Amino acid sequence: MNTGAVSVAELRDEARQRLPKAVFDYIDGGADDEHTVRANTSAYARIGLVPRVLRGGGTRSLTTRLPGAEIAFPLVLSPTAFQRLVHPDGEVATAQAAAKAGTVMVCSIAATTPIEDITATGADVWFQLDIQPDRAFTAHQVARAERAGCRALVVTVDTAVFGNRERDRRNGFTELPDGLRCENMVDADGVLRRVEFDADLTWSDLDRLRDRTGLPLVLKGITHPEDARLAVEHGAAAVLVSNHGGRQLDTVPATVDLLPAVVRAVDGRVPVLLDGGIRRGTDILKACALGATAVGIGRPVLWGLAAGGREGVELVLERLRAELERALALCGCAGPGQLTEDVIRW
């Protein structure tokens, strides 16, 4: 891989140079005025760290237990659609990088690679699911994910309707180019379906999904503590605090600002994950100190993929892990499990 990037932010710059404007804007953009997109990242800059000293801990353990997987450090690859749009190897390259790093890849329902090819890489894979209005088709997708060997279902719950993404409208970005399609939207008869959202979804739909599968359910898109409490009551194995990277409803606060209230509502009953704005190892540390079991990254994966395929994604994961280990050492912690809010200064 030919890159001089030493940080995730520099990989973003490389991706911008390599990709067509419409494609980069699709990755980079968000809803309306993109206040939430910016808030997700800027929030970490105003959260300070107050390190402890003289505590030993030269040997660190970053291993983290999640539903259906034990990962090497507290980071997973959040679902991102259309990965072959930024690199020909797409989701396969991402899964290979995840396997090498010892972590989970969440495969998007709108992946441009079949789920079977993704799990064949040997990575631990979770399947992201938007429950479709055609419930029989959703049952088909769940069964397909189970047969492919996915370890969990990540049910996205913040997509009642599609967000207003003005960059895409200005660029006329409405369809995939010829040769690419959403491979996991093919039904049992071989017909390609469109991803649809359902504004009529209720907790009862989640109950029916839970009764239909033995896979653990991770609810992605939780921001309100009452919804976190209900998720646990309705059998979620984990909740993922997410505002969809600012791509759905603008002016939702940064996920790290919403995290503590969700953690209190869950009260240790299931793991709490977070995505949105993670760009540094110190961001991971701050989220874990505020109660997250692990974090997810989305855009950085696509930046690395665009910049260098599998090696680019590997570089993203290596940089973030190294930065996390360094930050833990400088905060006097032997691992993320030791972190508490006393190292945080708001």
Tens-digit pLDDT profile for residues 37-75:
999 999 999 999 999 999 886 788 999 999 999 999 999
Angle 294-295-297 (CA atoms, 0-180°, nearest 5)?
150
Say what the pLDDT of residue 56 is.
Answer: 80
Residue 93 clears pLDDT 90, i.e. is over it: yes
CA distance 106 to 27: 17
The hierarchical CATH code for the domain 8-49+58-334 is 3.20.20.70
Distance of alpha carbon 248 from alpha carbon 150, whole angstroms? 26
- Mean pLDDT for 99-110 is 98
pLDDT digits (tens, 9 = 90+) for 181-196: 999 999 999 999 999 9
What pairs with residue 64 in β-bridges?
71
Catalytic site positions:
244
pLDDT value of residue 57? 67
Asked if pLDDT for residue 1 goes beyond 80, the answer is: no
Share of the chain above pLDDT 90, in %: 96
Q: What is the spatial distance between Cα 49 and Cα 40, in angstroms, rounded to a whole number? A: 18
Residue found by looking up tokens 């009764």 in the block? 211
Q: What is the largest CA-CA distance in the chain?
A: 64
Task: Assess whether pLDDT exceeds 90 at residue 202.
Answer: yes
